């Protein structure tokens, strides 16, 4: 990257198709090898992919088409009539109805809980969240994976005690689809927009955005929906508006302080 190039606080992750080798084959996080983005950024975003993707692996073939009986949730974000959580445990809404809408709301909320700055900077909080959202059989593997990935991500981002308060890590649901449902198991797809980075002039990774679809298998355990596996595919990814440009680091820092993180679905 040229030394006199102005570094902004956000960067589009959707370069022109002609500039993106293998477009459509991999997640947007892994397409950052294009252009002038430095190796450290590629490494950091690759680690984000690993962590967000969970222990179920990554679907590099893209988001599979939903079967004919796939049912969208009644409202965007998985929230719907009767699909509200009963209470909050360790900062995560829990206690969902044993319905399609309940499973969809749980899937959204659990992934949002894994996408906050505190999840990455506070090991105790991370372990509490995982204990709350994962099935008993999946907990140990997910905790080990998230601990390892988080440590590497913080190092790649260059996050220090001084810059940690400015770190941006957010995710919001754009919609859900219940692919299959029974009283004991549900498969839910969640389309999400994610933003990650550190809005400082010398940041190893300016704040960047991506779009992903998570396929989560949930099981009914101990009277609530719990996550058994998480798979990740890139997109659907929109084009960047031609009349918009990335905000400055100062604008991103102020926005992160001013705006509350997206609320849970229910």
Asked if residues 14 and 32 have their Cβ atoms less than 8 Å apart, the reply is: no
Task: State pLDDT tens for residues 122-168.
Answer: 899 999 999 999 999 999 999 999 999 888 888 877 887 777 877 88
Query: For residue 39, what pLDDT is reported?
Result: 41
> Do 133 and 110 contact (CB within 8 A), yes or no?
yes
Give me the torsion for CA of 125, 131, 132, 137, rounded to 10°: 160
What global pTM score does this model have?
Answer: 0.73
Report pLDDT digits (tens) over 14-46. Answer: 343 333 333 333 333 333 222 223 344 555 556
CB 211 within 8 A of CB 235: yes
Residue 69 in this model has a pLDDT that exceeds 60: no
CA distances 159 to 56, 117, 155, 168, 259, Å, are: 27, 11, 6, 11, 21
Residues 6+ apart with CB under 8 A from 100: 71, 73, 178, 181, 186
pLDDT at residue 260, rounded to an integer: 75
pLDDT of residue 216: 96
More confident residue, 54 or 85: 85
Beta bridge partners of 218: 186, 227
Please, where are the H alpha helices in the chain? 39-53, 100-113, 117-121, 123-133, 136-157, 249-258
Check whether 266 has a pLDDT greater than 70.
no
Question: How long is the chain?
Answer: 266
Residue-wise over 150-165: b if at least 16 C-beta within 10 A, else e? bebbbebbebeeeebe
What pLDDT is stored for residue 43 in this prediction? Answer: 52
Q: Give the model's pLDDT for residue 27.
A: 32
Q: Which of the four pLDDT bands, split at 50, 70 and 90, describes residue 55?
A: low
Average pLDDT (176-193) is 96
CA dihedral of 262, 263, 264, 265, whole degrees rounded to 10: -90
- Transcribe 203-219 into DSSP letters: -SS-EEEEEEEEEEEEE
Given a cut of 70, whether residue 185 has pLDDT beyond it is: yes
Contact 208, 195 (CB under 8 A): yes
Rounded to an integer, what distance in angstroms lies between the CA atom of residue 110 and that of residue 108? 6
Quick check: helix, strand or coil at residue 94?
Answer: strand
pLDDT 10s digits, 81-110: 348 899 999 889 999 999 999 999 999 999
């Amino acid at each position: 990257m040229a030394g006199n190039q102005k570094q902004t606080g956000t960067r589009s992750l959707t370069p022109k198709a002609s500039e993106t080798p293998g477009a459509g084959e991999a997640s947007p996080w892994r397409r950052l090898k294009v252009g002038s983005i430095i190796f450290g950024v590629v490494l950091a975003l690759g680690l984000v992919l690993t962590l967000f993707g969970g222990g179920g692996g990554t679907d590099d073939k893209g988001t599979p088409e939903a079967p004919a009986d796939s049912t969208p949730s009644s409202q965007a974000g998985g929230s719907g009539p009767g699909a509200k959580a009963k209470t909050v445990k360790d900062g995560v809404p829990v206690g969902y109805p044993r319905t399609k809408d309940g499973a969809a709301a749980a899937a959204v909320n659990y992934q949002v809980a894994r996408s906050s700055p505190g999840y990455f900077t506070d090991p105790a909080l991370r372990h509490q969240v995982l204990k709350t959202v994962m099935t008993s059989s999946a907990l140990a593997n997910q905790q080990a994976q998230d601990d390892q990935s988080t440590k590497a991500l913080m190092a790649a981002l260059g996050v220090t005690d001084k810059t940690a308060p400015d770190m941006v890590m957010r995710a919001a649901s754009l919609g859900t689809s219940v692919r299959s449902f029974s009283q004991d198991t549900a498969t839910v797809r969640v389309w999400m927009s994610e933003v990650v980075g550190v809005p400082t002039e010398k940041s190893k990774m300016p704040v960047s955005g991506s779009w992903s679809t998570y396929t989560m298998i949930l099981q009914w355990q101990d009277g609530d929906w719990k996550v058994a596996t998480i798979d990740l595919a890139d997109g659907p990814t929109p084009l960047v508006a031609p009349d918009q440009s990335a905000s400055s680091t100062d604008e991103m820092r102020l926005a992160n302080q001013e705006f509350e993180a997206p609320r849970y679905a229910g």
